[in-house]
Amino acid sequence: MTVVLACLAAFVAAVIQRITGLGFVLVLVGPIVLLYGPFEGVTIGVLLALVASLTAIPLVWKHIEWRRTWWLIWPGLIAAPFGALLVGLLPEAALLLLIAAMAYSALVAGWIPALSASLRGKPGAIVAGSAAGFMHVASGLSGPPLAAYAVGDRWAQRRFAASVQVIFATFSIASVALRGLPASPVEDIWLLIGATAAGIAIGTILSRNVSPRIARIAMLAIAWAGATVVLVRGILALWS
């Protein structure tokens, strides 16, 4: 039953990711952490994020802006090991609270105009890229600082949504290298990979008819619910 629920979560997250360009881990992190625990759940999440991005890149290749992308990637790669170090030092309850906190930060970051306004040009890219790389290894949630930079630097949404797939893929490779592969059965991981790829394919079809606004509402509803349940579980684990 665990792998079935996880496959459903990965499929829905991939569909939303393909329609909106963002939100894969934000949708997935709550269910996957609840099903597999904070460390293994995020480890699976970043592996599936790699699959989702690699599947999407050929579909958006012509819209990628490589120069801007590079200025976000290299600071993130420098910061990534510090995210892995933090995860290695924290007990399970603290990891749950950290993931919940990052999920909530991801959900409210877009409501802070000053954050986006401060992230412009190469200095803004370095700050946003560093934060994204750290957060991706720690929780898989690297989208918020990248989205804030895109708004602040007035990056066209279509080109940003394409370019960010390369960033997610790169940070996911770094995360897999630093965290290692999931410890779950290999057959379960392949089922999850298949569900993710299928979600990207179905999302490509649905993107012609489903409004990104509707997909975003679904993404936010699932993400808020998932973050809240993870927070409650973290608090209960802290008291037990």
Domain count, the chain: 1
3-state SS of the chain: helix, strand, coil percent to 5? 85, 0, 15
For residue 156, the SS3 value is coil
pTM of the model: 0.83
Domain with 169, as residue range(s), is 2-239
At position 40, the amino acid (one-letter code) is E
Contact 25, 209 (CB under 8 A): no
For residue 67, the SS3 value is helix
Residue pLDDT tens, the chain, 240 long: 889 999 999 999 898 888 877 778 878 888 888 899 888 988 999 999 999 889 889 888 998 999 999 999 999 999 999 988 888 888 878 877 877 777 777 667 656 665 555 667 788 888 888 888 988 888 787 777 887 788 777 888 778 888 989 999 999 999 999 988 999 999 999 999 999 999 988 988 887 777 767 766 766 676 677 677 777 777 877 776
Q: In which residue are the tokens 């290749």 written?
A: 61
Residue 224: Cβ within 10 Å count: 15
At position 39, the amino acid (one-letter code) is F
Name the DSSP class of 21.
Answer: S
